[in-house]
């Protein structure tokens, strides 16, 4: 059995679609970081390659082993919509379909929900040899696993809130299941 402790990185304070842009995390709330680190098991830590995830992982790692960053744990690639506010995207019908009908619809030069799920699922599959593992990732990456564990649609997965510095617990023991979602220690 593998228990995944999916941690969303620290806040960027951006009010736009932030996918693969390498914005830093605000890790100034040291009390929240300490509570998060104390809550997590003594297990290896891995993160996406994006700065906001790597620095959050470093902040909570302590004496935990640190695994190499994995680009497959990155956020949704928003392509031409990157760093735009939802209302600034020129083709409003397209962006609404992306969120309301997640599947094969992709932003221009970006990736679809189905592609994100396949990418993150592959990364999770490579980590099944651990009993416990801490993964510092992103809103979209975490929601792909909520969707898989609960057996729900992408649209239903998007209804879940995933706060910065929260923990979502996913277990694999032959089948995928979810424990606490969006737990803030």
pLDDT digits (tens, 9 = 90+) for 79-105: 999 999 999 999 999 999 999 999 999
The pLDDT score that the predictor gives to residue 56 is: 98
> Does pTM top 0.95 for this prediction?
yes
The pLDDT score that the predictor gives to residue 125 is: 98
Q: Is residue 100 part of a domain?
A: yes
Q: Is residue 67 part of a domain?
A: yes
Structure tokens of 21?
Answer: 């842009």
The pLDDT score that the predictor gives to residue 91 is: 97
**Buried b or exposed e, range 95-111, using 16+ CB within 10 angstroms:** beebeeebeebbbeebb
The pLDDT score that the predictor gives to residue 179 is: 98
What number of residues does the chain have? 185
Range of the domain at 10: 2-178
CATH of the domain at 16: 3.40.50.1240
Instruction: Show the DSSP H helices in 40-111 as ranges.
Output: 51-61, 92-100
| Residues forming a β-bridge with 171 | 3, 177
The confidence band for 52, taking pLDDT boundaries of 50, 70 and 90, is very high
Alpha-carbon span 67 to 19, nearest angstrom: 22
Q: Is residue 110 part of a domain?
A: yes
Predicted confidence (pLDDT) per residue in 103-129, tens digit:
999 999 999 999 999 999 999 999 999
Q: Is residue 90 part of a domain?
A: yes
Give the number of domains in the chain: 1
The confidence band for 65, taking pLDDT boundaries of 50, 70 and 90, is very high
Q: Is residue 35 part of a domain?
A: yes
Q: Is residue 184 part of a domain?
A: no
Q: Is residue 11 part of a domain?
A: yes
Exposed, middle or buried, 131 (CB in 10 Å: 0-12/13-18/19+)?
Answer: exposed
Q: Is residue 183 part of a domain?
A: no
């Amino acid at each position: 059995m593998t228990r995944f402790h999916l941690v969303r990185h620290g806040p960027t304070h951006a009010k736009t679609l932030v996918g693969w842009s390498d914005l830093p995390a605000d890790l100034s709330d040291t009390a929240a970081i300490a509570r998060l680190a104390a809550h997590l098991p003594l297990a290896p830590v891995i993160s996406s390659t994006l700065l906001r995830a790597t620095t959050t992982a470093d902040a909570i790692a302590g004496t935990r082993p640190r695994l190499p960053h994995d680009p497959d744990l990155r956020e949704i690639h928003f392509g031409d919509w990157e760093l735009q506010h939802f209302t600034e995207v020129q083709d409003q019908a397209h962006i609404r379909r992306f969120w309301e009908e997640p599947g094969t619809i992709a932003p221009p030069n970006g990736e679809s929900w189905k592609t994100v799920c396949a990418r993150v699922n592959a990364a999770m599959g490579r980590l099944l040899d651990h009993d416990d593992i801490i993964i510092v990732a992103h809103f979209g990456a975490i929601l792909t696993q909520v969707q898989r564990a609960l057996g729900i649609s992408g649209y239903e997965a998007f209804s879940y809130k995933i706060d910065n510095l929260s923990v979502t617990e996913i277990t694999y023991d032959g089948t995928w299941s979810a424990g606490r979602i969006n737990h803030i220690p």
